[in-house]
Structure 1
Amino acid sequence: MSNSHYDTSFKGLCYVNRVRMVKPSKSDPYRAVTLSVKSGKRVSTEGKGDKPEFTIPLDCKVVGAQAQAIFDQILEEHWDDKKPPVISAAFEVGDIYPDYYVGTRDKNAGKTVPILKGRLLKLHDVYVKGERIDTPVETADASDADTPAAAQPETASAETREDRTVDAVAEEAASFPSVVRLSKDDPDFEERKARLKAEGYRWDRENKAWRRPAA
């Protein structure tokens, strides 16, 4: 739970579909995905393991830092625009609520279609094209980044504590450009990529660049 959301959570297994960037006209862009939540009975398929009896669509805004990092990794290392890979995972979604949209094509054209929405907090056991991928080690998520930490005793003295002024922080932030493009031919590519991730940059698949979120 965070200070801004209760994040009453819902967990399960899913296929991950429609990884996309949403660009509202009056707010900052954000990443969204549609999860096909595996539901009903497990149906055995010869030589292919189990499959779900049916799936339920769940539209999600990606808010967890761990989930964001996983999508950055998938888009950079495994993604193909012409043939997006099959992705399956265990998930944790917070604050699910019902919504609807008016269909524009096929059998739903002109119809009111119900859908569930939520906030994607975490992904686990992620498989891309049937192969499990190494995922970032879990650290603090954006979903609970504003959760108050337990009070800790003051141990650092005034002489040893790093006191940073507002001007110093602002100056440091300004030194990083909002958009960065890296070349895989650069011998320091991995080091530079890790630094960008540590500074909060996210991979912008459409523009093939690393982008720093707006403050």
Structure 2
Amino acid sequence: MTTSTESTYFDLHITGLGYLNRIREVKPKKGAPFLACDIAALNGPTDDASYVRFDARVSGSEAQHLVRRCIQAVDAEKKVLIGFRLGDLWTDIFTYAKGKRAGEQGVSLKARLLFVSWIKIDGQLVYKAEPKPTETSDPIPQAPASSAKPDAATPGPSVPAADAPEENAADTSEPAFAESF
């Protein structure tokens, strides 16, 4: 009998779109510093949307890179709208220290920002994540397909077809994003 030491988890993810605010480096008394931000997520009907505020710790190198690239736009008070995926939602109960609610209890929704799918600054799309092809789905064809049918024994797309649009992907992802700032 073998035992597995590998842990398994149940994931709870939140996907949505919202405005990026308050990007900052948090330096806790114990532990390593980390990048954090607030997201005012849109919720409800499109003609009368409300906001749900998340205080997010930015996780993952790609998400950190993208959020850091938005610091100047947020500091300049531009509207930075992102498509996002959050995980590990939890609540933090606190007491207001000042203002008209001083002494009252409040609740903050905390989460980890796992993925940024797109970024718009003042309505202009400046970044869009490339879809990752999976073994079960076919990628969107970038060029006309040949008349030859793929081998039925081969699961998913062939490797050369997936690698073919490298020239176009290099032109649209990082350089377009870098020029937009």
What TM bracket, shorter-length normalisation?
0.5 to 0.7
Amino acid at match of 1:109: A
Structure 1 partner of 2:149: none
How many Å separate the matches in 2 of 1:28 and 1:39? 33
For residue 103 of structure 1, report the CA deviation from its aligned partner.
1.6
For residue 80 of structure 1, report the CA deviation from its aligned partner.
6.4
Q: Which of these residues, 32, 38, 41, is aligned with residue 42 of structure 2?
A: 38
For residue 136 of structure 1, report the CA deviation from its aligned partner.
6.8
How many Å separate the matches in 2 of 1:56 and 1:80? 18
User: 2:99 aligned with 1:103, yes or no?
Assistant: no
Q: Which of these residues, 37, 43, 60, is aligned with residue 56 of structure 2?
A: 60
Residues 25-174 of structure 1: matches in 2 within 5 Å? 25-43=29-47, 52-75=48-71, 78-79=72-73, 81=75, 83-134=76-127
How many Å separate the matches in 2 of 1:138 and 1:93? 18
Q: Encode CA deviations 1:94-147: one digit per residue, 9 max, x unaligned.
A: 1111222222333332211112111110112211122211367689xxxxxxxx
Higher relative contact order (CA 8 A, sep 6+): 1
How many Å separate the matches in 1 of 2:112 and 2:131? 17
Q: How many percent identity over aligned positions? A: 26
Given that 1:34 and 1:60 are in contact with CA atoms closer than 8 Å, whether structure 2 keeps it comes out as: yes
How many Å separate the matches in 2 of 1:67 and 1:3? 25
Given that 2:116 and 2:129 are in contact with CA atoms closer than 8 Å, whether structure 1 keeps it comes out as: no
Q: Encode CA deviations 1:151-178: one digit per residue, 9 max, x unaligned.
A: xxxxxxxxxxxxxxxxxxxxxxxxxxxx
Given that 1:10 and 1:93 are in contact with CA atoms closer than 8 Å, whether structure 2 keeps it comes out as: yes
Q: 1:5 to 1:69 in 2, by over 3 A?
A: farther
Amino acid at match of 2:41: V
Instruction: Structure 1: give runs of 5+ residues left out of the alignment.
Output: 44-51, 140-193, 195-215
Given that 2:117 and 2:129 are in contact with CA atoms closer than 8 Å, whether structure 1 keeps it comes out as: no
Q: 1:37 to 1:26 in 2, by over 3 A?
A: same
Instruction: Structure 2: give runs of 5+ residues left out of the alignment.
Output: 1-5, 133-173, 175-181
Structure 1 partner of 2:13: 9
Given that 2:74 and 2:80 are in contact with CA atoms closer than 8 Å, whether structure 1 keeps it comes out as: no
How many Å separate the matches in 2 of 1:25 and 1:64? 22
For these two proteins, the number of residue pairs brought into alignment is: 128
